[in-house]
Structure 1
């Protein structure tokens, strides 16, 4: 699965990234996430490359607990995270690029469903895409 969504948000990239890259806001704009916690800080402390965020979410009516490790962190343009614990391998990339009308916000999710989620395989990509579109809509609503 490789799913992408994008949306132009009428806010400058630094403001979009400051909000979206702050794990404390994950539950406010990311579909299904009920909580997020910084469970491993960077070597120097805080959030950045090497930090890990534990998220609790619900997808297909099932609770999912997973840990994302920050692979790249280049505010205000890029946050790239890979799952290190969870029900299936996942790679999530957020990009926030300059656009004449504000910010071109993009989310890309890559991964392979396993176990219970493999049964939903044909429906998984369209459902993830719909959720990503809602995420970007809710991100815009939170900022405007």
Structure 2
């Protein structure tokens, strides 16, 4: 089992941070390893929306489809994929600390299958590192002029 939780405080309103981070079109801009996001369903984002991502992680090219399982504007988004060697669930949460400060969490949870299972502890460590880079990049997008 892999269960990685990362969090950060961003000097910007929760509404703005969540609107940007929940939009799959922005994922390649703040996720270090995601190269593209392609909608397979109509916009706007809603429960049941499906987005195909292409990424690279640990030197491997990955293609997977996430489906939005839960979406509460400005509060929480949960995406799931069941395809590939590593079914994954990704959850974002946003909490307003005040009018101009957001606490954001990014959690990846999944059960690797087959060969990947033996590498779960290593994958957890590498995912934590990658997720922290992603959250720092997101933070820099909002705080670049602060």
> TM-score, normalised on structure 1?
0.91
Where do residues 19-58 of structure 1 align in structure 2 (5 Å cutoff)? 19-41=20-42, 46-58=44-56
Distance 1:40 1:120 in 2: 33
The alignment yields a C-alpha RMSD, in angstroms, of 1.4
Task: Give the structure 2 partner of residue 6 of structure 1.
Answer: 7
Task: Give the structure 1 partner of residue 18 of structure 2.
Answer: 17
Q: Deviations over 1:119-140 (max 9, x none)?
A: 4322111111111111110111
Tell me, yes or no, if the aligned pair for 1:69 and 1:84 is still in contact at 8 Å: no
> TM-score, normalised on structure 2?
0.90
Structure 2 residues without counterparts, runs of 5 or longer = none
SS in 1 for 2:113: coil
Q: What's the CA shift for 1:114?
A: 2.6
How many pairs are equivalent?
A: 141
Task: Give the structure 2 partner of residue 105 of structure 1.
Answer: 104
